[in-house]
Structure 1
Amino acid sequence: MDLSLVRVFVSIYEARGITAAAARLFVTPPAVSQALTKLRQQLDDPLFERVGRTMEPTHAAHALYPELRGALLTIDRAVDGLHGFDPAESDRHLRIALSELGEIGWLPAILRAVRARAPRMRLEVVPAHPDHLPEQLSRGSIDLAITPAALPAAFESTVIKRQGYGVAMSADNPLARGRLTRERYAGAAHLRVSGDSGIGPLDAALARAGIALTPRVVVHRIAALPVALAGDPELVATVPDTIAEGWAATWPLTVQPLPFAMDPVSVRLYRRHSTQHSAALDWFSATVTRAISGSSGQFSVIHGDG
């Protein structure tokens, strides 16, 4: 089989569309359609069937994909190893998905690490919406994603941080004095960030503890938390403890331990499925992992006047 046909198959499988696959391969959609016709003839299977706006794989395509993708990775890495990947000369456009907290805390370290070795590389940060990440990684529209959300096991991932949680509140909040019991916590006025990527593990821990919460206030940005908590002596927010402790250094806030059991949340770095530019992806992934693992984050940049 022509190697270019294998690339077309893998690209259609991952992108779930002719046009998106063509964009990946830097060819026209008619060229991809012609290649798919050849594949169907050679393999005697339709391989992909249109369902709405997407091309869904057949059973045969699902069976072929892992082997063909693995073969492409082996070939591409062998070629990359022969020619070498030089980040200093690369002008690739790489995309990473980060939450608001990720942008605040880790982006400075990522930028320093990438730009120190690859000053010509273009880096784009996109919002990390957990519901969108599997499709984005599958289609190759993003290269890396950092999130505590649990994505399908098919995606290659690395744990880069383990994060505990605590309860942040104003120093004037009555709950700041004495032990925070489960009952006092459940009866408090809770503040929550909508779309918080770490909310899934927290909700699971609350459910195991038999605690049902109805937020009194919902905000859209994590940066609103310290000012809102400092300004209202009744509100509490359950947030990563190290971040809350950083805020407490400049805001009139305090942090109480959780009154229920919750394992530290694993923050993972996920890689895209696509086989293209594997050497650049390997370098980018390793560089980001080292940058974050070696950084405590700059979350305290959201600071008070004190």
Structure 2
Amino acid sequence: MDLNLVRVFLAVSETRSLTAAAARLYVTQPAVSQALARLRRELDDPLFVREGRLMVPTPLAESIAPGFHDAIAAIDRTLDGVHGFDPAASDRTFRIALSELGEIGWLPAIVRAVRAKAPMMRIDVVPMNVRELPEWLGRGTVDLAVTPSPVPGRFEKVVLKTQGYGVVMSTKHPLATGELDLEAYANANHVVVASDSGASAIDQALHRAGIVIEPRIASNHFAALPPLIAASADLVATMPDTIAEGWAQTWPLVVRALPFDMPAIDVSLYRRSTTQHTAALDWLFATVAHAIRGSSGRFQVIHGDAL
């Protein structure tokens, strides 16, 4: 079988589009259609059927895609080993999905590490959307993603850190020194952040504890929390404890332990499953992982006057 046919198959499988596959392969759409027609004849299967604007794989296509993917990835890595990847000469653009906290805390370290070896490489940050992440990584819409939320699918990942959670409130809050039991927590006025990528883990822990929280305030950004909570003697928020403790160094805030069981969660770096630019992605994956693991984060940049 012509190896180019396999590459066309994977491009269509990953993008679900003849046009996007052609753009990825730097060929025309008719060339992709012709290659797909040859592959259909060789495998005696339609492979993809059009549903609306998408090319949806048949059961046969779904079954052979993992084997084709692994084979092409192995071939590309072998060729990359011969030709090598020089980050200093690369001007590729890579897209990294980060939450607001990830961007505040780790983007400086990521950029510093990448630019030290690849000064011409461009990094685009994509706002985190946990629901869309499996499709983004599966189609190559983003190259990497940092999230505490498990991402279903065949995506390579590494655990960067383990994060606990706590309850943050003003030093003037009655619960700042009083007993913070489950009932007091459930009856408190809660603030949540709509973009919190760890929200699902909190919701699961609350469900196990048998309580439901109806937040009084839903903010778009974590950056709004320190001044909001510090100025309010009745609000609490559940968030990563290390970040809250950092904010408490310069804001009049207190961090209390959770009054229910919530295991620490793994924050992981995921990489896309698509096969293009394998060597460059290998380098970026390793570089970003090393940068984040070696950084304590810059979360304290959201600070108040020193106490």
Q: Please report how far the alpha carbon of residue 35 of structure 1 lies from its aligned counterpart in structure 2 after TM superposition.
A: 1.0
Alignment of 1:52-91 (within 5 A): 52-91=52-91
Q: Post-superposition, which runs of at least 4 consecutive aligned residues in structure 1 deviate over 4 A?
A: none
Identical columns (%): 61
Match of 2:37 in 1: 37
Distance 1:172 1:96 in 2: 39
Distance 2:35 2:197 in 1: 40
Deviations 1:241-296 (A, max 9, x none): 00000100111101000000000111111110111111100000000000011111
Q: Secondary structure at the match of 2:222?
A: coil
Deviations 1:195-242 (A, max 9, x none): 311000000000001111100111111100111101111000000000
Match of 1:295 in 2: 295
Amino acid at match of 2:227: V
Q: Please report how far the alpha carbon of residue 153 of structure 1 lies from its aligned counterpart in structure 2 after TM superposition.
A: 3.7
Q: Secondary structure at the match of 1:211?
A: coil
Match of 1:233 in 2: 233
Match of 2:95 in 1: 95
Match of 2:247 in 1: 247
So what's the TM-score if we normalise by structure 2? Answer: 0.98
Match of 1:275 in 2: 275
> Contact conserved, 2:134 with 2:153, CA < 8 A, in 1?
no
Match of 1:304 in 2: 304
Distance 1:93 1:212 in 2: 43
User: Unpaired segments of 5 or more residues in structure 2?
Assistant: none
Q: Please report how far the alpha carbon of residue 178 of structure 1 lies from its aligned counterpart in structure 2 after TM superposition.
A: 2.6
Q: What is the RMSD of the two structures over their aligned residues, measured on CA atoms?
A: 0.9
> Contact conserved, 2:245 with 2:255, CA < 8 A, in 1?
yes
Distance 2:130 2:25 in 1: 27
Deviations 1:171-206 (A, max 9, x none): 000000133111111110000001311000000000
Distance 1:57 1:290 in 2: 37
Distance 1:188 1:252 in 2: 19
Distance 2:179 2:293 in 1: 33
Match of 1:211 in 2: 211
| Count of residue correspondences | 306
Distance 2:51 2:268 in 1: 32
Amino acid at match of 1:117: K
Match of 1:28 in 2: 28
Distance 2:53 2:69 in 1: 24
> Contact conserved, 2:156 with 2:270, CA < 8 A, in 1?
yes
Distance 2:220 2:237 in 1: 13
Q: Please report how far the alpha carbon of residue 130 of structure 1 lies from its aligned counterpart in structure 2 after TM superposition.
A: 0.5
Moved more, 118-127 or 147-156: 147-156
So what's the TM-score if we normalise by structure 1? Answer: 0.98
Match of 2:170 in 1: 170
Q: Please report how far the alpha carbon of residue 305 of structure 1 lies from its aligned counterpart in structure 2 after TM superposition.
A: 2.1
Q: Please report how far the alpha carbon of residue 22 of structure 1 lies from its aligned counterpart in structure 2 after TM superposition.
A: 1.3
Distance 2:22 2:152 in 1: 26
Distance 2:83 2:99 in 1: 35
Amino acid at match of 1:58: T
Amino acid at match of 2:83: H
Q: Please report how far the alpha carbon of residue 99 of structure 1 lies from its aligned counterpart in structure 2 after TM superposition.
A: 0.5
Match of 2:121 in 1: 121
The answer as to 2:187 corresponding to 1:187 is yes
